[in-house]
Amino acid sequence: MIVDDSAVVRQVLTASLASDPEINVIGSAADPLFALDKMSKMWPDVIVLDVEMPRMDGITFLRKLMVEHPTPVVICSTLTEKGAATTMQALAAGAAGIVAKPKVGLKNFLQDSADSLIGTVKAAARVNINRLIPRRQAVATSLSIPVPVAAKLTADAILSAANYAMAETTERVIAIGASTGGTQALERVLTALPRVCPGIVVVQHMPEKFTAAFAERLNSLCQIEVREAKSGDRVVPGLALIAQGGRHVLMKRSGAQYYVDVVDGPPVSRHKPSVDVLFRSVAKCAGRNALGIIMTGMGDDGAKGMKEMHDMGAPTLAQDEESCVVYGMPKEAVKLGGVDNSISLDDIAQEIITYGRRR
């Protein structure tokens, strides 16, 4: 079911999705109230939902769905700063994925992005919806007062801490890859980390323009510093760098220091940013001094890169099937032989803390 107040968007989305023989568009509606009336006759497997609509906005409708009739939802949001911030609210409320749409050139853009749209809808159809429903604790966290600036140690402050030797700050790094369901999973992990922990680089499959808002949201909730990665950023304790949407991120080393390089290029493993690109670069520059973690997501991105990390002596972890929204990427990494252990989402933060304390 497609819910969008734009007739053009409904038309183009319907045509794009209907081009795939495995997808049946059962209807479209201009707002959630019209949609509910149509869905009472046949409930869809996936809903593609606009955010700004008359009578009831998309966020309100999404929250209502997750309480009354949990259903995978793909948010169709504009490529604007306001649209990105609203989309973060939708992901926190349980949305399964994002489809970006520009303010101008909409028809051509959506037609050119048909493969991405179809892939996102198919991934949503396979999610464990119970894992997407926000827990009371998660909802309370998302509504809590942001960590005060005075209480948050910046990465530079941690580097200058008297008892934190340079060898320690540069030796251990963490590489994390995630896709469908990853925004909630990453929030669970990163908010559980103390201010001082190994430097982290994250690839979360997400369109460009949205990763900056995602990083800002995490930064407001976490004790560690979280920001969108830029070329030249150092990977240091107490800092998590989120790969930019639409760009690859690589980890590199200069002497005793690790840093990231953000580059353009074709999709790898059908994604940009790609987990494989990050993991392979980490295997090359950090070897056994890195911890690799692959989390919930559809497809096989990251499996080959994790195998390379494993073969270079890096410890590697996969989120287990029971706690995944979609057990795709971790499953492929396990099948390829690149995973040392599969663990629950709730245990990942403690593994990172333990790894950082090892000599």
Q: What does the alpha-carbon distance between residue 299 and residue 313 come to, in Å, rounded to a whole number? A: 25
Residue 205 annotated to the active site:
yes
Q: What does the alpha-carbon distance between residue 102 and residue 36 come to, in Å, rounded to a whole number? A: 27
- Give, in order, the Cα–Cα distances in Å from 206 to each of 91, 186, 199: 11, 13, 21
What number of H helices and E strands is found in the chain?
16, 14
CB of 175 within 8 A of CB of 251? yes
CB of 86 within 8 A of CB of 59? yes
- Return the structure tokens found at 341: 């252990």
Q: Which of 16, 179, 269, 323 is catalytic?
A: 179
Q: Which of 28, 205, 276, 310 is catalytic?
A: 205
Compute the CA torsion angle 178, 184, 186, 192 (nearest 10 deg): -160
Q: Which of 50, 233, 276, 301 is catalytic?
A: 301
CB of 103 within 8 A of CB of 80? yes
- Return the structure tokens found at 232: 């030249």
Give the CA diameter of the chain.
66
> How many CA atoms lie less than 13 Å away from 200 in the CB half-sphere?
29
- Return the structure tokens found at 78: 């504009």
Catalytic positions are: 179, 205, 301
